[in-house]
Amino acid sequence: MESSPAATVSAGPGPGPAPADLLRRLRARGAGDPVTHVERVPARAGVPAPWPSWASEELRAAFTGRGVTAPWQHQAEAANLAYEGQHVIVATGTASGKSLAYQLPALATLLADPRATVLYLAPTKALAADQLRAVAALELEGVRPSCYDGDTPRAEREWIRRHSRFVLTNPDMLHHGILPGHAQWSGFLRRLAYVVIDECHTYRGVFGSHVAHVLRRLRRQCARFGATPVFVLASATSGDPATAAGRLTGLPVTAVTEDASPRGGVTFALWEPPLLPSDTNSSSPVPPQATGEHDDLRQVRRSALRETADLLADTVAEGVRTLAFVRSRKGAEVVAANARRSLDDAVPGLGDRVAAYRGGYLREERRELERALLHGDLLGLASTNALELGVDLVGLDAVLICGYPGTRASLWQQAGRAGRSGQEALAVLVARDDPLDTYLVHHPEAIFGAPVEATVLDPANPYVLAPQLACAAVEAPLTPADLVLFGDGAKEAVDQLVAAGALRQRPTGWYWRHRERPEVDLRGEGGAPVCVVESSTGRLLGTVDGGSSHFLLHPGAVYLHQGVSYVVDDLDLADGCALVHAEEPDWSTHARDVTDLSVVSVRSYVDAGPVGMFLGEVDVTSQVVSYQRRRIATGEVIDTRPLDLPTRELRTVAVWFTLSPQSLTLAGVQPADVPGALHAAEHAAIGLLPLMATCDRWDIGGLSTAVHPDTEAPTVFVYDGHPGGAGFAERAYGTASAWLRATRDAIVECGCETGCPSCVQSPKCGNGNNPLSKPDAIRVLDVVLANLPQ
């Protein structure tokens, strides 16, 4: 049965129903109760602090003039630490005013010392431009803030280098422009007092590891000129920010995490769409159209998109201004279209109050949308995250989040859209059929309790370290002291570069031997990037790293770029180019690969009786062999098509566990069921790793086998999908018991009988999700957890 929205409609954007009443009505529509948890996030009054005594009258007046009457406690605390010379990271929620924490000490220093300079790094040009506006608006004498990035006209660059004392840039520009040109920047670097690293949680994985070395290169150049700047970092809420910031900068960093800014109250519900009866009737999403006996990724839960569309229709019918966040643009359109249809069925014309927002709108169009929503002409909007980049929507009564957005930071960022000034608001997270979503709706403490995900990076990755050391050697010959600066693995990497003929050792250090600088892309990993080109126009849409190109750009793949959908016509690996055309089919594509793995070395292990837990290097050989087309609206599998792509080799880092066959027999796993048990445990473990590390399940791969030739035992491997590893497997090893306990709980708590995409099935399985045994996976994990030290 399809639910229809309530017949009564309140007209305008007046105060909607109280969130608790609204939620009660929403959850009463169906048969069962889809709500697994309701959290009242109370309103919080801000805790102001006095202006630091060192902040001059002029500086205070400038901030007061911009409406800042006093800093909040956390801003003052971080500012004081930084001013005292301690490296500090402020890791608090969205809109908690992190910028004041670094603006205060940086600007106070610029005003007090007319020679001092500040370097500000943002992950995007747009954010740097925002910050420039904010700093410039303070109109402080002699600061001369300026953006220095790829768009800066040549004519202005020299002026900036000579005269600006607050330079805003990004890591790419630091890497490609400022550090190689350090001679021209010597005046600026010599006087550098602060380095500000904004949104530093975005520096994760391989990219984060590269940025970590770019910062070490910056510190090295500063040291050559006699400067030792203080680092001030700002991050979204994250687990263990001090450690992550320490890895990023290579310095001891103090964390400030207590958010003292005010916020409105939110009623936050976790919503699990109901399981569909197995003898599904025609009113529900079409059951699997199996395309091969091993190919049925069965849909047993109602799709999150359908559920979100119904909720959107219901809230709009109540006169509640609602924003629904959907991961893809096509998904957002499906949600909006379904909600419109339900509303028009109830009250013809009411559907017009719902729209889909897509990326790429012009500025005027965005302003018009904001206006329509503000005045209540529009009550419901379904959007991708594109909205986070440029539309200012405040004062919504409800936010629907279709599928966990990947991190708590994004979740709170999206939920933070709800709530007009001082009013209570409703937020609903609708779970997708995915093990992580399933786990989260049954473990609210993982969302509302202590932050769990840490920003993970691995500066010791030799695939990052060697090219970065080469860049450093071009900037100045490497010395033994530099090996300490660049950390673990630096000596080995230098030896490797010497052996490869890139560096020459002389008594005064290691020298770069070539005329040209090495080509190092901070985001590059595993082979040259593949260019994505629109055939009809020849326009370059973007690049995809070589490692992901087989997955994302195989012929027939649906490729999303800034919310616009393209279909790949041809992937030319020799030319490093994929030809695409704009098209929005009703399906998404899911590539599948087959994998072989061998152990190269063991870095660390835990011997736990019948169970062994290992971290080490592995060689992975994989081949993308086919792809599935699935209907976006329902998840229904349309077909599976073969692909003809070459195999790829990857040396990376893996975490793996072994079990003795006897322990499995004792636990009740029949020998014939061991492959299915391990396979199911592997899928769920991969699905849950993003809970421990800020990775995506697409960043990691897995392999399980009843007997592996290198371990001679039943084994489950989980490996980093990036050459040399990005820190994810290492993080998994470090949190193994918590990670595998969450994995076990997610499987146990899924209401399905034999396994579904919410627990043990994987959308990217190379074996078509066969064999899989859900009950035996639980037994496997119980054996591991019973033996593994906590």
Residue in the block written with tokens 């697409």: 698
Residue closer to Zn ion, measured from CB, 643 or 765: 765
Query: What whole-number distance in Å separates Cα of residue 409 and Cα of residue 173?
Result: 26
Residue closer to Zn ion, measured from CB, 559 or 728: 728
Query: What whole-number distance in Å separates Cα of residue 746 and Cα of residue 478?
Result: 49
Least distance from C-beta 276 to Zn ion, angstroms? 12
Query: What whole-number distance in Å separates Cα of residue 427 and Cα of residue 397?
Result: 9
Residue closer to Zn ion, measured from CB, 34 or 563: 34
**Does the protein bind Zn ion through residue 59 (CB under 5 A)?**
no
Least distance from C-beta 683 to Zn ion, angstroms? 6
**Does the protein bind Zn ion through residue 342 (CB under 5 A)?**
no
Residue closer to Zn ion, measured from CB, 232 or 765: 765
Residue closer to Zn ion, measured from CB, 434 or 545: 434
**Does the protein bind Zn ion through residue 705 (CB under 5 A)?**
no
User: How many Cβ atoms from other residues are within 10 Å of residue 185's Cβ?
Assistant: 22
Residue closer to Zn ion, measured from CB, 322 or 769: 769
User: How many Cβ atoms from other residues are within 10 Å of residue 644's Cβ?
Assistant: 10
One residue of 322, 413, 588, 758 binding Zn ion per CB under 5 A:
758
Residue closer to Zn ion, measured from CB, 578 or 756: 756
- The answer to whether 338 touches 316, Cβ cutoff 8 Å, is no
Task: Pick left, alpha or beta for residue 332 (phi over 0 → left; psi -120 to 50 → alpha; otherwise beta).
Answer: alpha
> 664: helix, coil or strand?
helix
Residues from 655 through 684 that contact Zn ion (CB under 5 A): none
Residue closer to Zn ion, measured from CB, 405 or 676: 676
Residue in the block written with tokens 């960022």: 413
Query: What whole-number distance in Å separates Cα of residue 283 and Cα of residue 267?
Result: 32
Stretch that binds Zn ion, among 141-149, 631-639, 693-701, 756-764 (CB under 5 A): 756-764
Least distance from C-beta 319 to Zn ion, angstroms? 37
- Best CA proximity match to 251, nearest among 87, 75, 117: 87
Beta-bridge mates of residue 604: 615
Stretch that binds Zn ion, among 348-356, 415-423, 545-553, 760-768 (CB under 5 A): 760-768
H or E stretch covering 386: none
Residue closer to Zn ion, measured from CB, 268 or 439: 439
Residue closer to Zn ion, measured from CB, 264 or 775: 775
> 700: helix, coil or strand?
strand
Stretch that binds Zn ion, among 193-201, 378-386, 690-698, 763-771 (CB under 5 A): 763-771
**Does the protein bind Zn ion through residue 765 (CB under 5 A)?**
yes
Least distance from C-beta 775 to Zn ion, angstroms? 11
Helix pair 674-688, 774-787: axis angle to 10 deg:
70
**Phi, psi dihedrals of residue 529, rounded to the nearest 5°:** -65, 150
- Indicate the residue type of 501: G
**Distance from the first to the final alpha carbon of the chain:** 47
**Which positions ≥6 away from 139 have C-beta within 8 Å?**
62
Least distance from C-beta 750 to Zn ion, angstroms? 3
**Does the protein bind Zn ion through residue 756 (CB under 5 A)?**
yes
- The answer to whether 260 touches 94, Cβ cutoff 8 Å, is no
Query: What whole-number distance in Å separates Cα of residue 493 and Cα of residue 500?
Result: 10
Residue closer to Zn ion, measured from CB, 496 or 767: 767
**Does the protein bind Zn ion through residue 759 (CB under 5 A)?**
yes
What is the torsional sign of CA 385, 387, 390, 396?
Answer: negative
**Phi, psi dihedrals of residue 498, rounded to the nearest 5°:** -65, -45
In the 3-class helix/strand/coil scheme, how is 27-86 assigned residue by residue?
Answer: HCCCCCCCEEEEEEECCECCCECCCCCCCCHHHHHHHHHCCCCCCEHHHHHHHHHHHCCC
Stretch that binds Zn ion, among 202-210, 230-238, 363-371, 758-766 (CB under 5 A): 758-766
The strand pair at 715-720 and 648-659 is best described as antiparallel
Stretch that binds Zn ion, among 481-489, 543-551, 602-610, 767-775 (CB under 5 A): 767-775
Least distance from C-beta 260 to Zn ion, angstroms? 42
Residue closer to Zn ion, measured from CB, 613 or 750: 750
Least distance from C-beta 732 to Zn ion, angstroms? 17
Query: What whole-number distance in Å separates Cα of residue 524 and Cα of residue 508?
Result: 32
**Which positions ≥6 away from 786 have C-beta within 8 Å?**
none
CA distance readout (Å), 233 to 25, 177, 214, 277, 695: 44, 22, 15, 51, 21
Residues from 361 through 400 that contact Zn ion (CB under 5 A): none
Residues from 519 through 548 that contact Zn ion (CB under 5 A): none
Least distance from C-beta 38 to Zn ion, angstroms? 23
- Indicate the residue type of 592: R
Least distance from C-beta 440 to Zn ion, angstroms? 14
**Does the protein bind Zn ion through residue 468 (CB under 5 A)?**
no
Residue closer to Zn ion, measured from CB, 260 or 752: 752
Query: What whole-number distance in Å separates Cα of residue 191 and Cα of residue 225?
Result: 9
- The answer to whether 87 touches 246, Cβ cutoff 8 Å, is no
User: How many Cβ atoms from other residues are within 10 Å of residue 500's Cβ?
Assistant: 11
Contact characters 735-754, Zn ion, x per CB under 5 A: ---------------x-x--
- The answer to whether 247 touches 201, Cβ cutoff 8 Å, is no
Residue closer to Zn ion, measured from CB, 137 or 672: 672
Stretch that binds Zn ion, among 459-467, 657-665, 705-713, 757-765 (CB under 5 A): 757-765
Query: What whole-number distance in Å separates Cα of residue 272 and Cα of residue 428?
Result: 10
Least distance from C-beta 699 to Zn ion, angstroms? 16
Least distance from C-beta 554 to Zn ion, angstroms? 19
Least distance from C-beta 771 to Zn ion, angstroms? 10
Least distance from C-beta 2 to Zn ion, angstroms? 24
Residue closer to Zn ion, measured from CB, 565 or 758: 758
User: How many Cβ atoms from other residues are within 10 Å of residue 440's Cβ?
Assistant: 26
Residue closer to Zn ion, measured from CB, 490 or 756: 756
CA distance readout (Å), 463 to 200, 470, 549, 618: 22, 12, 19, 14
Query: What whole-number distance in Å separates Cα of residue 785 and Cα of residue 405?
Result: 29
Give the number of residues in contact with Zn ion, rule: CB under 5 A: 7
Residue closer to Zn ion, measured from CB, 245 or 684: 684
Residue closer to Zn ion, measured from CB, 535 or 754: 754
Least distance from C-beta 1 to Zn ion, angstroms? 23
Least distance from C-beta 756 to Zn ion, angstroms? 4
Least distance from C-beta 754 to Zn ion, angstroms? 8
Least distance from C-beta 573 to Zn ion, angstroms? 25
Total count of residues recorded for the chain: 790
- Indicate the residue type of 724: G
702: which DSSP letter?
E
Least distance from C-beta 747 to Zn ion, angstroms? 7
Applying CB under 5 A, the residues found at the interface with Zn ion are 750, 752, 756, 758-759, 765, 767
